[in-house]
Structure 1
Amino acid sequence: MESKVVKCSDYEWDSVSHKEYKDDQSCYKGVQRYSLLGTRNDEQALNFETRYFEVETGGYTSFEYHRHPHSVVVIRGMGTVILDNEVCELSLHDVVYIAPNTLHQFHADHGESLGFICTVDRYRDRPTLPDKDKIDDIVESEKVRKKIKI
């Protein structure tokens, strides 16, 4: 891999196009994904992927879980994240660790877009959308149940 800098201006990176967040558009609202590092042929030496997600005002990511952990750093706006049975407030530069098998969902619910860098292993399992039984087993909080978007 050749060393390089990918320049950014107003949350748009040179030669990095945004993509729909997921193929199934029914499980989220207003989310764009940018694969910044780790997905192109010249970056195969990396064992991870660095991605940027932007959730538009009023939007949310899918409510999901998976076997792999990942980390998130908020670099734009404010919002909330559901982590299993808890709703956590997020603001600029907050860092989130999502442990394996944790139900999670990000919300841009503070009147502005929520943007975050997400780092994951290059080789990982696919996210799973929980069924009603899984949600009932884990989520006891009425506040969380009302917040979940499916």
Structure 2
Amino acid sequence: MIVSHERDVLGTRMDNDQIKNAVKKVLISPAHGWEGYVMREFELGEGGYTPRHTHPWPHINYILEGEGSLHLDGQDFLLEAGSFAFVPGNKLHQFTNTGKGRFAFICIVPEEGDK
């Protein structure tokens, strides 16, 4: 069980040749009693992006703040606060911050997707 606020969760900064200007926060996981799933918040700074990649598990996303795009299976979709997406397993995808300021979203994956 957990009741908290995202501002109180320590984030992990990620910045390399595949991911730019990103912070990941694990909000709820099996460690908190949610067996099998993990809810994370990702924040992409201006010009930031996630890797363009595939994996076997699906994920659910909800946009909290900012403007961005989702490249999904050969198409680009514009996203803003309130947008949501289901990304099936084995589909090429990437999130990119296309606006000013931060682009933040919730990402829920099966436990194996957060290793």
Q: TM-score, normalised by structure 2?
A: 0.90
Aligned residues: 115
- Confirm or deny: 8 A CA contact 1:67 1:125 kept in the other structure: no
Alpha-carbon distance in structure 1 between the residues aligned to 2:88 and 2:29: 21
**Alignment counterpart, residue 27 of structure 1, candidates 18, 31, 43:** 18
**Counterpart in 2 of 1:67?**
56
Q: How far apart, in 2, do the equivalents of 1:125 and 1:67 lie? A: 12
Secondary structure at 2:112 match in 1: coil
Question: Residues 6-45 of structure 1 correspond to what in structure 2 (within 5 A)?
Answer: 6-8=4-6, 12=7, 14=8, 16-21=9-14, 25-40=16-31, 43-45=32-34
The 1:117/1:45 distance shift into structure 2, 3 A limit, reads: closer
Equivalent residue runs for 1:1-150 within 5 Å? 3-8=1-6, 12=7, 14=8, 16-21=9-14, 25-40=16-31, 43-124=32-113
State the alpha-carbon separation in 1 of the partners of residues 100 and 90 from structure 2.
Answer: 29
What secondary structure sits across from 1:123 in the alignment? helix
Paired amino acid for 1:21 = M
| RMSD over equivalenced CA pairs, Å | 1.8
Percent identity over the alignment is: 26
**TM-score where L is the length of structure 1:** 0.70
Larger Rg: 1
Q: Distance in 2 between matches of 1:20 and 1:114?
A: 15
Task: Structure 1: give runs of 5+ residues left out of the alignment.
Answer: 127-150
Using a 3 Å threshold, how does the CA distance of structure 1 residues 45 and 88 change in structure 2: closer, same or farther?
closer
The 1-side partners of 2:47 and 2:73 are apart by: 21
Partner of 1:133: none
